[in-house]
Structure 1
Amino acid sequence: MATVGVQEARTPPLTSTSEPPSLFDGTTRLYISYVCPFAQRAWITRNYKGLQEKIKLVPIDLGNRPAWYKEKVYPENKVPSLEHNGKVIGESLDLIKYIDANFEGPSVVPTDPAKREFGEQLVSQVDSVTKDLYAALKGDAIQQANPVFDSLENALGKFDDGPFFLGQFSWVDIAYVPFIERFQLVFAEVFKHDITEGRPKLRAFIEEGNKIDGYTQTRADPKELVDIYKRRFLPQQQ
């Protein structure tokens, strides 16, 4: 189940003073930020499929991003984006499926119709789930977030052939895990609350996910993630 690989050395992110790479020279490049959960989705997909040699990782400093990125690579000026076959594709959920369909390696989309249907349903809900969790941070965090985490616990019980949303690791887990990772950290550090308490399926999801190299290779420093969330969402905590 786990894709075994050597931990990549993380090169410094490109900044406003960095020269652009040789754009559109046939190299496939995945532009990311090391701390962006959306970019992490595409990064996990790349790693899980064993594409470290096929897709070059290009980290961008989102706080001091190079002008050429917007001008020459991706007018949306956000990450992730994928430079492939002379074009640039964006949007993290689309990129999971694009990388899966256009490159070799284990597929993250199951063939079972029931799993595919439930997977599409869960992925269609991920934005509203994360929006509700972000909103909870600004209110009575634990009380407001509990129903959201309960819904994840219920969804994880749909299939019993593995600990993930569709049983086995899939594009649904890739869509959710960067945010579950961050909210677990923030709730533990800031609110002294364990989001897996009373939720054995969510606990198993996190524990088994942490055994998948393709995911763990993309994790950011926990302290950095908590600090980012404090600055952006919890000014009263400063």
Structure 2
Amino acid sequence: MADVKLFGFWSSPFSRRVEMALKLKGVEYEYIEEDINNKSPLLLKYNPIHKKVPVLLHNGKPIAESLIIIEYIDEVWEGPSILPQDPYERAMARFWVKLLDEIKGEEREKNKDEAKVHLKFLESEINGKKFFGGDTIGLVDLAANFIAHWFRVISESVGLELMTEDKFPNLRKWVDEYTNSSFVKENLPDKDKMVGFYMTRYQAPGGTKCFPKV
């Protein structure tokens, strides 16, 4: 059996989407929880540039950055495809994932108006679909998991409402479909625990309303 380890953090949407990709493929792995305030020597060794999770270690070789890791998982292991097989659809999935990364950046920088403009494009893209990947969860769904769960938790924690139902009905419908999937439910961090984590983080001196950069 291949030696697979994943360095992650329990409330990181980036770690969680890699875990979900591994489970979609049926890959057995060892999970190693990191302390974001005291990162392990192994994490710093395997990701010396960014010094953050997630990091996948496969047969002693490290791969960093969650989306790169997911594409690697999809290529290496058999099982349900995470990326579309059609070259055009694959390219478009990467396009939407890039847009999602921009939305995360805008949320950190408090550029909410720009984030809402980008969410409108996603609102149109998901219209009439069960998932971004069609009838099954795919790359864009995994990349958008922070919209489905983390946005809601942060909204309840600090009153930061970005994706209202009246303005984004299609995305909110996708959120319900995605988070009510039995597979997704099993792989999302506990909501109450997350609320406590973010409240503590934001109320601390110098706290910021953003996803943890770990």
1:171 matched to 2:139: yes
- Identify which of 118, 127, 130 aligns with 2:92: 118
1:128 Cα offset (Å): 1.2
User: In the aligned structure 2, how far is the partner of 1:104 from the partner of 1:42?
Assistant: 16
1:125 Cα offset (Å): 2.0
For residues 55-103 of structure 1, the C-alpha deviation after alignment (integer angstroms, 9 at most, x for no partner) is: 22111111122234324x4324311111112311111110011111111
- Identify which of 8, 29, 49 aligns with 2:25: 49
Aligned 8 A contact 1:49 1:104 in 2: yes
Q: Secondary structure at the match of 2:184?
A: helix
1:202 matched to 2:153: no
1:113 Cα offset (Å): 4.0
Q: Secondary structure at the match of 2:180?
A: coil
Moved over 6 A (4+): none
Aligned 8 A contact 1:30 1:55 in 2: yes
- TM-score computed with the length of structure 1 as normaliser: 0.72
Give the aligned CA root-mean-square deviation in angstroms.
2.7
1:211 Cα offset (Å): 3.0
1:156 matched to 2:126: yes
Q: Tell me the equivalent position of 1:96.
A: 70
Identity of aligned residues (%): 26
Trace 1:113-152 onto structure 2 (pairs within 5 A). 113-136=87-110, 145-152=115-122
- TM-score computed with the length of structure 2 as normaliser: 0.80
Change (3 A) 1:147 1:225: farther
Between the two proteins, the alignment pairs up a number of residues equal to 201
Q: Secondary structure at the match of 2:144?
A: helix
Change (3 A) 1:69 1:221: same
Q: Tell me the equivalent position of 1:13.
A: none
User: In the aligned structure 2, how far is the partner of 1:184 from the partner of 1:80?
Assistant: 22
Change (3 A) 1:116 1:225: farther
User: In the aligned structure 1, how far is the partner of 2:15 from the partner of 2:23?
Assistant: 12
User: Bigger relative contact order, structure 1 or 2, given CA contacts below 8 A and separation 6+?
Assistant: 1
Change (3 A) 1:152 1:26: closer
For residues 110-152 of structure 1, the C-alpha deviation after alignment (integer angstroms, 9 at most, x for no partner) is: 223442232121122222111112223xx7x5x6653343232
The answer for unaligned runs of 5 or more in structure 1 is: 1-24
1:170 Cα offset (Å): 0.7
1:233 matched to 2:212: no
Change (3 A) 1:234 1:210: closer
- Could you tell me which amino acid in structure 2 is paired with residue 204 of structure 1? K
For residues 13-45 of structure 1, the C-alpha deviation after alignment (integer angstroms, 9 at most, x for no partner) is: xxxxxxxxxxxx962111111111221221111
